[in-house]
Amino acid sequence: MRSITSRIVVLIATAAVAPLLVYGVVSVTSLRRGTQQSVTEANLAVARQISERIAQYFDNTRRILSSVANQLQGTQLQQWQKQHILRNHALDFPEFRELSLFASSGATVATSRAIAPRLKPPSSALDFKSSSYIAPPQIDQDELPSTTMALPLGTQAVPEGWIVAEISLEELWRAVDRIRIGQTGYALLLDEADRLIAHGHPDEKRLIAAGATETPEQGLARHLRSLNARTTSASLTTLSGVDVVAVAAAVSMPKWTVIIEQPKDEALAVAHRLEMQLTVAIGLALLATIVAGSWWGRSFIRRIFALTKVTDALAAGQMDARVTLTGRDEIAQLGTQFNAMADRLVELQDEIRKQERQVMFGRIAAGLVHDLSHPIQTIGNSCKLIQRIFDDAEYRATFRQTVERELATVKRVLDDLRNIARPMPLEHFPIDLNAALAEAVQTMAPHAETAGLELRAELSREPAYIEGDLFAMGRVHRNLILNAIQATAPGGLVAVTSEVAGDRVLVKIHDTGCGIPPDRLQAMFDDFVTTKRRGLGLGLAISRKIVEQLGGQIRVASEVGKGTTFVLDFPRSAAAPMARAAG
């Protein structure tokens, strides 16, 4: 039954749980992948927008510088007017830390500074064909990043001069600081040399101060350049050990890189929540499936268990046990048929018992007729004869003997019947089994002689004492010897032997008779079982009862056509019989 339960569990798991689990795993995986992809795409859009704005910012700055250059060039402005223009621009546009105009010789023409300009025109080694030159960012006196932009003046191959501006990147820094992706996502800015110039995470600005190199973000910027692409994305672990979804976008001018980082905890929070919900839903579904399957399986198996239980009861002889199964399915039909089969079995059993009783009565009646008819007939004949020769004193004596003997026979038959019905009262005294055997052999010798066979006694030299009833043992011996004589054809041998084996005394009555078929050996010692054509068949049954009452065992071994051996096995008694002890 356990295997049926296991099979049903496997069936439910295979049919319902496994597909549900597979569905869950596939759903969670695609959800996670899909969310990361959509987060990456959204962040990439932001990064692209920022990179475009930075490029636009520098383009606007270049335009302003160009406009200032146009105001200063080719006009008849006085020196102080040029200076005022530059200073006004520097004051009106806080991103201009300094604006200076240089002649082609490098001499300062005008500056927005109240002191000597910090700026210098670009080196002549630069490519003058460029419309502008942007220097790498630096940290200015106000501790903020700044960069320098230079515009060549004039349209000649060799510039007529330069307008150079120190541009504060403070606004850019602030703009980067203001960028928030979700709650905790932030932006970073790296220059063309992959130096960190802005970091939107308040606690990570130290990386700028520390001039950090070999950060994961710098690796990402290098990777972007190696791809020669506008954008890229990756999963990174920051120097602080936070797992982030990172995207990078290249700025067209200057060649900077914008990176957006969003902690995975937040970026994939929706996916995680959905995963959790999905997991809970799948878990509940699994639980429901298991509960329903278990309930269904239990109701299914319960009926099988009920059937099994009734079968066991029937096997144990509880013939009135019946199964009650509800439903209209095959199992219910099986239950109905099983009950019908049990009913039929009871009927058959009753019939068999009836037939057995009839057979038994027939055998008992036949046995009684056989065992009693001869003495009754003998007594009847003797009675008829005594009427005629009553005066013959010798015959009267014979008559008395005959009647007494036949009555004894009748009595013995009746005693046998009584002994079968209830235990015989036996005495337990030490007896000499050899002496009992010798007496029995002597008693049965005439029968053997009559039957034309040899009756031999081979008794042990050691004393074979047992606790027993001398009369009862004599009967057992005679019964077994008589059976052997009756089963042995003339010229055969009946050997009676005894031996002492340790604390046991064995008696064997062996004949060379026809033997007993094996299928009848088991019932040899049952009541009313005999191989003879007549008689009650109580001899062996009474013999076994006596032997077992005396603490011994009786066994039989037989081979058809070769003979039979009965073995009596008794515990040896240490005490000698009373008469011998006294004698």
Partner 1 sequence: MRFGPRFHAAARMIPVHITRRFVSIRFTVTAGALVLLLPCVAALGACRSASGAGDRSPILRMGVGIGRTVKASAEKSLAELLYLEPLIGRAVDGRPVPHLAESWAWENDDRRVKVRLKSGVRLHSGKLLTAELVARSLNQQVDAAREFSPQAFDTVVGISAHGQDIIVDLSQPNALLLSELLGLRIADPDSEDNGTGPFRIATRTPQTETVRFDDYHDGVSDLGGVRIVTYESQRSAWAALLRSEVDAVQEVSREFVEFLEGSSNVRTYSFLQPFYIPLVFNIRHPVLKNVEVRRALTEALDRKTIVAKAMRGRGQIADGPIWPLHWAFASAPRRYPFDPAHAAARLDRAGFTLTGAASDRKPRTRFSFRCLFWSEDPQFERIALMIQRQLFDIGVDVELEPATLADLGRRLPPGDFDAFLMRTNASRSLDITYRFWRSSEKGNAAMQGSGYTGVDALLDTFKQSTSDEAVRAAVAALSQRFHEDAPAAFIAWTEITRAVSSDFAVPDVGAEDPLAKIWQWRPVREVTRR
For 78, which DSSP code?
A: -
Q: What are phi and psi of 313, to 5 degrees?
A: -65, -40
14 binds partner 1 (CB under 8 A): no
139 binds partner 1 (CB under 8 A): yes
Among 2, 3, 105, 114, binds partner 1 (CB under 8 A): 114
203 binds partner 1 (CB under 8 A): yes
- Judge contact between 511 and 493, C-beta under 8 A: yes
Q: Minimum distance from CB of 229 to partner 1 (Å)?
A: 32
CA 186 to chain centre: 51
Q: Minimum distance from CB of 252 to partner 1 (Å)?
A: 27
80 binds partner 1 (CB under 8 A): yes
Query: In three state form, how does the secondary structure of 83-94 look?
Result: HHHHHHHHHHCC
Q: Is 200 exposed, middle or buried (0-12, 13-18, 19+ CB in 10 A)?
A: buried
222 binds partner 1 (CB under 8 A): no
91 binds partner 1 (CB under 8 A): yes
Among 52, 59, 170, 192, binds partner 1 (CB under 8 A): 170
Among 40, 68, 87, 111, binds partner 1 (CB under 8 A): 87
Rounded to whole angstroms, how far apart are CA atoms 544 and 555? 9
Q: Hey, what are 545's tokens?
A: 């009862």
81 binds partner 1 (CB under 8 A): yes
Q: Which stretch binds partner 1 (CB under 8 A): 31-39, 124-132, 201-209, 573-581?
A: 201-209
Q: Is 395 exposed, middle or buried (0-12, 13-18, 19+ CB in 10 A)?
A: middle
Number of residues lying near partner 1 (CB under 8 A)? 30
141 binds partner 1 (CB under 8 A): yes
202 binds partner 1 (CB under 8 A): yes
Instruction: Using the minimum distance from each CB to partner 1, give the nearer residue, 83 or 232.
Output: 83
Among 120, 205, 322, 374, binds partner 1 (CB under 8 A): 205
144 binds partner 1 (CB under 8 A): yes
Instruction: Using the minimum distance from each CB to partner 1, give the nearer residue, 171 or 559.
Output: 171
Q: Is 127 exposed, middle or buried (0-12, 13-18, 19+ CB in 10 A)?
A: exposed
Residues 6 or more apart whose CB falls under 8 angstroms from that of 534 comprise: 366, 367, 370, 371
Q: Which stretch binds partner 1 (CB under 8 A): 87-95, 277-285, 320-328, 453-461?
A: 87-95
111 binds partner 1 (CB under 8 A): no
173 binds partner 1 (CB under 8 A): yes
183 binds partner 1 (CB under 8 A): no
Q: Which stretch binds partner 1 (CB under 8 A): 33-41, 170-178, 409-417, 514-522?
A: 170-178
Q: Which stretch binds partner 1 (CB under 8 A): 206-214, 326-334, 418-426, 564-572?
A: 206-214
Query: In three state form, how does the secondary structure of 408-440 look?
Result: HHHHHHHHHHHHHHCCCCCCCEEEEHHHHHHHH
Q: Hey, what are 301's tokens?
A: 């198996």
Rounded to whole angstroms, how far apart are CA atoms 314 and 312? 5
Strand pairing class (454-458; 493-501): parallel
Place of tokens 């905890």: 265
Instruction: Using the minimum distance from each CB to partner 1, give the nearer residue, 209 or 501.
Output: 209
84 binds partner 1 (CB under 8 A): yes
582 binds partner 1 (CB under 8 A): no
504 binds partner 1 (CB under 8 A): no
User: Which H helix or E strand runs over 557?
Assistant: strand 553-559
Among 100, 112, 238, 434, binds partner 1 (CB under 8 A): 112
103 binds partner 1 (CB under 8 A): no
Rounded to whole angstroms, how far apart are CA atoms 12 and 3? 14
Q: Which stretch binds partner 1 (CB under 8 A): 167-175, 213-221, 393-401, 503-511?
A: 167-175
CA pseudo-torsion sign 354, 359, 360, 365: positive
Among 209, 397, 523, 575, binds partner 1 (CB under 8 A): 209
Rounded to whole angstroms, how far apart are CA atoms 384 and 405? 17
Q: Which stretch binds partner 1 (CB under 8 A): 59-67, 79-87, 319-327, 430-438?
A: 79-87
Instruction: Using the minimum distance from each CB to partner 1, give the nearer residue, 203 or 214.
Output: 203
Residues 6 or more apart whose CB falls under 8 angstroms from that of 426 comprise: 468, 469, 472, 546, 549, 550
Q: Minimum distance from CB of 80 to partner 1 (Å)?
A: 6
Q: Where are the beta strands (DSSP E) in 243-386?
A: 243-250, 257-263
206 binds partner 1 (CB under 8 A): yes
Among 18, 210, 280, 489, binds partner 1 (CB under 8 A): 210
Instruction: Using the minimum distance from each CB to partner 1, give the nearer residue, 116 or 574.
Output: 116
| C-alpha separations of 40 from 12, 54, 157, 505 in Å | 41, 21, 45, 101
Rounded to whole angstroms, how far apart are CA atoms 119 and 576? 143
545 binds partner 1 (CB under 8 A): no
Q: Hey, what are 342's tokens?
A: 């049990």
Q: Minimum distance from CB of 89 to partner 1 (Å)?
A: 11
- Judge contact between 97 and 140, C-beta under 8 A: yes
Residue numbers of the site for partner 1 (CB under 8 A)?
Answer: 78-81, 84, 87-88, 90-91, 94, 112-115, 139, 141-144, 170, 173-174, 177, 202-203, 205-206, 208-210
